[in-house]
A and B are shown apart, each in its own frame.
Chain A
Amino acid sequence: MPFGKMGASTPITTDAIWNLLKQIPDPEVPAINIVELGVVRDVIFSEDASGVEVVMTPTYSGCPAMKVMEDDVKEKLSSEGLDVKIRIVYKPAWTTDWMSEETKAKLKAYGISPPPKLTFEHLHPLSSVKNAEVMCPFCDSKNTTLTSQFGSTACKALHFCDNCHQPFELFKCH
């Protein structure tokens, strides 16, 4: 196990690394951290214990925040005296189903409607998702309309609440 700067006598545990990673916010949705987002898949110590490999997966293939997240991980763990390597994996593909209920509650509190569970409709390109129930994060009404499947970031869609008349974003089911 590697020894961090915090004290040469105490080796850094995997749990401690995960806790450090949990301090890194998602650059586009800072209400949740990158572990809650689900992009950190694994933390592996190197065989000679000189460094740590962080296994990550992108949310979307072209997500511009991925590079920022990688840099943030390197910076965070390097500042603890660790030699960090990042490995990107594509399989299994990231899914919003990995988000916990607690994470979804944080998104809602931040004003973003959390992703619903993946359904048959989401996986079939010719089936409409217009009628899927989406809850307004502000007034909890399900009387909402899809404005556009694409929003300010790759992971969000635009909706409008017909009850409280607020536009809002939905974290897309993916």
Chain B
Amino acid sequence: METNIALHKYCVRIADTSLILAQRMCEWCGHGPVLEEDIAMSNMGLDLIGQSRGFYSYAAKLEGKGRTEDDIAYFRNEREFLNRCIVEQPNTDFAYTMMRSFLHGCLSYLQFRTLVNSKDDTIAGLSEKALKEMTYHVRHASEWIIRLGDGTDVSHDKVKDALENLWQFTDELFEMDDVDQSLIKSGIACDLSLLRAEWDQMINEVFAKAKLERPVGGYQSKGGFNGTHTEHLGHLLSEMQYLPRAYPDAIW
């Protein structure tokens, strides 16, 4: 595969995953369980939007069609979005939101930590920045998983329920194809299979403290990174993309 085409797709996958999670986090704005958490979730949403902007801009540059980061974010349909399916899952409740952030965040943290050494300078730079932010996000989510899991019967049941529902999207976090393989060979991308052991270790450590049992087996949903999504993404996009599609010339 030609490097620029692969690199473009690789960046869009990272950017889409950050952007869709950002949209979900920002849905909490004004609805958080307490003011501090409301602010925290918007803050994290903002970090994620920032990360996606960096990767979209780079993707737009590689593509060379004169599109901007906004064109890529707002004028594509759901089958063209290449995010991991876990991030498009609805907020449901606070426990669910924290579990989603935690399962995805641990992998995202490990991925950026590896990409800091990417042979592509732009990816390395963007990753260095994102790594610091993901460290905060994972710490925040993991503390809540422990508090909820080792909390009351109600909080334990909610976070357990979240884990059991979201578990089906965890294998997909590690899914790779020829885009990854060709870039791994040139030292640009990160081999996700090498991160699995540490990801397991991270979540096991937190689940032990949270008195949660890690699900075993079961159905695993796949394909988000090639555009096969769950029913939730379309609804999310219809809200996220409404304004620029209804008023394409709107500017700040």
Contact = CB atoms under 8 A, between A and B. Distances in A.
State the majority secondary structure of interface residues on A.
loop
A11 B208 CA distance: 66
A90 B128 contact: yes
A123 B134 CA distance: 10
B124 A150 contact: no
A30 interface: no
Contact of A158 (B36, B44, B48): B36
Interface in B29-74: 36-37, 39-40, 43-44, 46-51, 53-54
Contact of B50 (A62, A89, A127): A62
B130 interface: yes
A126 B202 contact: yes
Contacts of B105: 125
A126 B142 contact: yes
B124 A91 contact: yes
Contact of B134 (A90, A125, A129): A125
B214 interface: no
Contacts of B232: none
B136 interface: yes
A94 B128 CA distance: 9
Interface in A15-62: 58, 60-62
A91 B129 CA distance: 8
Nearest to B106: A125
Given A58-B129, A60-B46, 16 more contacts: A60-B133, A90-B54, A91-B128, A92-B128, A93-B125, A93-B128, A124-B135, A125-B106, A125-B135, A126-B206, A128-B143, A148-B37, A148-B39, A150-B43, A151-B39, A154-B46
Interface of B: 36-37, 39-40, 43-44, 46-51, 53-54, 105-106, 109, 121-122, 124-126, 128-140, 142-143, 202, 205-206
